[in-house]
Homo-oligomer: A and B are copies of this chain.
Amino acid sequence: MAARKKSKRDRILDTAEELFALHGYDGVSLRKIATGAGVDVALANYHFGKKLDLFSAVFERRAALLNDSRHQALRDCQSKAGKKGPSVEQIIEAFLRPLEMAQETGDSGWKNYLALLAYINNSPYWGRLMMSKLFDELVNEFIEALKQALPQAEEEDIYWCYHNMSGALTLTLAQTGRIDTLSGGKCLSSDFQSAYDHMIPFTAAGFRKVCSQRSSKGKSKGAM
């Protein structure tokens, strides 16, 4: 309803973004997207090609922006920290806050996009390929920073901790509203500030705990 000046091409992207985030790739037809965008069904094909190409276009549209903003946040906290390097909390903050800010903008497009990211990140196999292609480079920057902040940690532990953080984040991005129901309204999935204010110390403590205890304690991975 907001912008009337948007091109039809952009309206297709916006509508597709919203519907894909809500119903997944197979839950949305090109005709529903076209109707939602107020456009003929053939126009999506003209601008983007096949349905999967449209999906990719939606997925890629905001990826670079997001990567830049997180990259910048990491650089900022690194310069602020000096040569001893930033703390675990500061690194996680740099990783997560840009997402909170994106979700908090009035623009519902970002909210939809991040929900779409959650959908893709939870999709087996093909989701992994799409995510890796666009986000692995940035994630590896953060992993490197975390290794420096936790010099005694085993590499494997850091990856598992990242996995847990990524899961917590993904559920927040998905905005399923489960927390609203469970808490009887005490917590709202739309209250992003609360979500991230809790997620940051929660995950930071997890990193510290797992990566500080000396290794091979009950992990039974080597010789039997």
Residues of A within 8 A of B (CB): 21-27, 115, 118-119, 121-125, 127-128, 131-132, 136, 139-140, 143, 155-157, 159-172, 174-183, 186-187, 193-195, 197-199, 201-210, 213, 218-221
Contact = CB atoms under 8 A, between A and B. Distances in A.
A24 B22 CA distance: 13
A213 to B, nearest CB: 7
Is chain A's binding surface mostly helix, strand, loop or mixed? Answer: helix
A160 B181 contact: no
Contact of A26 (B26, B157, B199): B26
Instruction: Give the number of copies in the complex.
Output: 2
Given A124-B115, A170-B171, A176-B121, A219 B197 contact: yes
A168 B115 CA distance: 16
Contacts of A168: 163-165, 167-168
28 contacts: A21-B124, A24-B123, A118-B122, A121-B171, A121-B178, A122-B170, A122-B174, A124-B176, A128-B177, A131-B178, A136-B181, A136-B182, A143-B182, A155-B183, A155-B186, A159-B186, A163-B178, A163-B179, A164-B168, A164-B203, A165-B168, A167-B167, A168-B168, A194-B219, A201-B209, A201-B210, A205-B208, A205-B210
